[in-house]
Amino acid sequence: MLTPLKFQPLFKYRIWGGNKLKTVLNKDYNGDSIGESWEISDVPNDETIVEDGSFKGYTLKQLIQEFKGEFVGESVYKQFGEAFPLLIKFIDAKTPLSIQVHPNNEYAKTHHNSFGKNEMWYIMQADEDANIIVGFEKEIDKTQFKQHLEDKTLLEVMHHENVKKGDAFYIPTGRIHAIGAGVMLAEIQQTSDVTYRVYDYDRVDKTIGKTRELHTEQATEVLDFNVEERYKTDYKTETNTSNTLIHSPYFKTNFLPVNGELVKDYSSTDSFVIYMCVSGQATIQHQQKDCALNTGETILLPASIKEVMLKSEDAQILEVYF
């Protein structure tokens, strides 16, 4: 019988990484500048494995191969086969990420044999005056964009937005973006590791002894130059309710604050469900067995699980499904 599953995170060195994943989220790793904790991943050569229980050591791929729609949902299996469609991360940016953009499904399939990378951010912690870059501040075209790159004035036409805990942003493919210094967040994205760096502050990566590769030509081909009136997502925060946060064709995420006991019925949800605990702690009860979920932990409910009980005094959970 499939049960709620925790996976062993994969910790990624990043030139911009800090130590909040350890000091704030209590992640257990060695090394410095760890920028990402890949919680649930089916990226080739970076597959997460089940942490404990009867399926300890299984990868996502092995679970899908063995249980198919029972694990991911019949409709998800029909669409993706043995590929798991989402990549789940926690990210800590001590210094700014490169200004970057991701391609859509069609472009990524043609050039990288990969999914595209639509993603979302939920801000878990932000230092004072920390900000992100998301989209353009004013309309420019490809020629002006290249000129700004050449003049090193690209930052002047980016939309900078100060952020705080609880802010959420959808980053569709084609939208230029960067996480700023002092921001820790949860990221939900398509299973893809394709990133086109546009600008990287001319910094040297100590692990390779030189600046990182830029991908300005590919970026220019996929960039969306439209300016949005508002980039931040508004959402409700009603307790013991799955408040719609970001629903896209690529994933659905709800904001779920839990206080007391809450029964969640997934009998009409033909999908796996992932819980990311972004604040507090909760207990998930299934078949009379309890599983703890603390801040910075992630758990996957296979599609065959149709009901769980959540217990908490004050937890905030991102509820993710397809």
**Per residue in 89-104, pLDDT tens?**
999 999 999 999 999 9
DSSP reduced 3-state for 38: strand
pLDDT at 78: 98
**Per residue in 263-278, pLDDT tens?**
999 999 999 999 999 9
Q: Which residues of 173-194 are buried (b: 16+ CB within 10 A; e: fewer)?
A: bbbbbbbbbbbbbbbbbbbbbb
**Catalytic residue list:** 197
Q: Are 72 and 222 in contact (CB under 8 A)?
A: no
Cα–Cα nearest to 225, from 158, 170, 162: 158
Cα distances from 124 to residues 184, 221, 291, 304, in angstroms, run 6, 32, 22, 30
What is the C-alpha separation between 34 and 30, in angstroms, rounded?
9
pLDDT at 298: 98
pLDDT at 206: 86
Cβ neighbours for 59, distance < 8 A, ≥ 6 positions apart: 42, 47, 48, 49, 50
pLDDT at 315: 98
pLDDT at 64: 97
pLDDT at 121: 98
Residue ranges and CATH numbers for the domains of the chain are: 10-222 (2.60.120.10), 243-321 (2.60.120.10)
pLDDT at 98: 94
What is the C-alpha separation between 161 and 152, in angstroms, rounded?
20
pLDDT at 1: 87
pLDDT at 144: 95
Is the pLDDT score of 15 beyond 90?
yes
The kind and range of the H/E element at 79 are helix 74-80
Question: Whole-model pTM above 0.85?
Answer: yes
**Share above pLDDT 70 across residues of the chain, in percent, rounded to a whole number:** 100
**Share above pLDDT 90 across residues of the chain, in percent, rounded to a whole number:** 97
Q: If you average pLDDT over residues 23-32, what whole number do you get?
A: 95
Q: If you average pLDDT over residues 194-202, what whole number do you get?
A: 93
Q: What is the DSSP string of 206-257?
A: TTTTEEPPP-HHHHHHH---PPPS--BPP----TTS-EEEEE-SS-EEEEEE
What is the C-alpha separation between 319 and 321, in angstroms, rounded?
7
**Per residue in 41-51, pLDDT tens?**
999 999 999 99
Average model confidence (pLDDT) across the chain: 96
Q: What angle is formed at CA 30 by the lines to CA 29 and CA 32, rounded to 5 degrees? A: 110
